[in-house]
Structure 1
Amino acid sequence: MSHIFESDVVAAILHHMNDDHAADNMLIARAFASPSDLPITAAVMTDLDGDGGVWQITRAGLPEELRVAWPSGSITERREVRREIVALYDDACDALGEEPRPHD
């Protein structure tokens, strides 16, 4: 069973991702969503657990859920979430041929 993070932890991470990293959400969605002729026009991170992150993506005005597993496998610690999201971002950049920005 997947690790469930405390609701305040999830809320803080979602707030950060959706307010400070909206472009990263789109990049991750474009890289990991199933192929389609319809472009993704929106991506919002809606949940996460020890096995991965969840985004609501929109194509042609229709929402769909995208679940992406953490690259390193299951996690249980809040500090591991950042590492995994950064890895997803890097993997997305690689898949799309984008130059990733430096991580601090």
Structure 2
Amino acid sequence: MTHVFDDDVVAAVLRHMNADHLDDNLLISRAFSPLGDVVSATMTTFDGDAGQWHVITADGSEEVIRVPWPGGSITARPEVRREIVALYDAACARLGVEARPH
């Protein structure tokens, strides 16, 4: 069964990702979205199995993408950061972008 995080945890992570890591949201979404030319991405939720982003493309198409955590299912708040960093690193590798230090 997929782990569901407390609403306070989800809200805090989303606030942080959508205020401080907009470029990371975009990078992750560009790397893992089936849509091409993603120009905007907002993290909308997550659970123990994956993160979810709302993406918009240059032509105005919108989609919600769900990207599984690279390390598998998680159940604790500190694991969320670890998995988002892993997604960022994987996105950089997939797109040929040099990752910044963590």
Do they superpose with TM above 0.5? yes
Q: Kindly provide the CA deviation profile for residues 18-49 of structure 1, in whole angstroms up to 9, marking residues without a partner as x.
A: 0000000000001001153xx11110000000
Aligned to 1:50: 48
Aligned to 2:8: 8
- List aligned pairs for 1:73-84, cutoff 5 A: 73-84=72-83
- What number of residue pairs does the alignment pair up? 101
User: CA separation in 2, counterparts of 1:29 and 1:61?
Assistant: 15
Q: Does 1:64 align with 2:26?
A: no
Aligned to 2:91: 92
Q: Does 1:41 align with 2:39?
A: yes
User: CA separation in 2, counterparts of 1:50 and 1:63?
Assistant: 24
User: CA separation in 2, counterparts of 1:101 and 1:89?
Assistant: 10
User: CA separation in 2, counterparts of 1:40 and 1:73?
Assistant: 25
User: CA separation in 1, counterparts of 2:30 and 2:39?
Assistant: 10
How far is 1:62 from its partner?
2.5
Q: Does 1:17 align with 2:20?
A: no
Q: TM-score, normalised by structure 2?
A: 0.96
How far is 1:61 from its partner?
1.6
Q: TM-score, normalised by structure 1?
A: 0.94
Q: Secondary structure at the match of 1:99?
A: coil
Q: Kindly provide the CA deviation profile for residues 52-103 of structure 1, in whole angstroms up to 9, marking residues without a partner as x.
A: 1000000222320010000000000001000000000000000000000000
Give the gaps of 5 or more residues in structure 1: none
User: CA separation in 1, counterparts of 2:60 and 2:3?
Assistant: 32
Partner amino acid, structure 2, of 1:24 = D
